[in-house]
Amino acid sequence: MTTELTTPPPKKTYKREVATAMLVYYFLMLTLSLWFSEAFVAAESIKIPAFTFAAGAFALDAASKQLKGQ
């Protein structure tokens, strides 16, 4: 009788999903700024955090996938 040790799957962090949602919000506000001037202010207020978080999330994801094989 053998017992196999299995590792539990890693916990999902939702980094990419949150980054995508932030970028969608940014581009939605830019689109709405054609009709509502307040939307442009909302888009500009989230621009730097959205792109910084997205770059970090997607870069960490790509790096972890490349380093996992080594």
pLDDT of the chain along its 70 residues, tens only? 566 778 778 787 888 899 999 999 999 999 999 999 999 999 999 999 999 999 999 888 888 888 876 6
CA dist 17 and 53 (Å) reads: 11
CA dist 35 and 44 (Å) reads: 16
Q: Are 56 and 29 in contact (CB under 8 A)?
A: no
How crowded is residue 6: how many other Cβ atoms within 10 Å of its Cβ?
6
pLDDT at residue 1, rounded to an integer: 59
**Taking the domains of the chain in order of start, what are their residue ranges?**
36-70
CA dist 50 and 19 (Å) reads: 7
Q: Both tokens of residue 31? A: 């689109």
pTM given for the model: 0.77
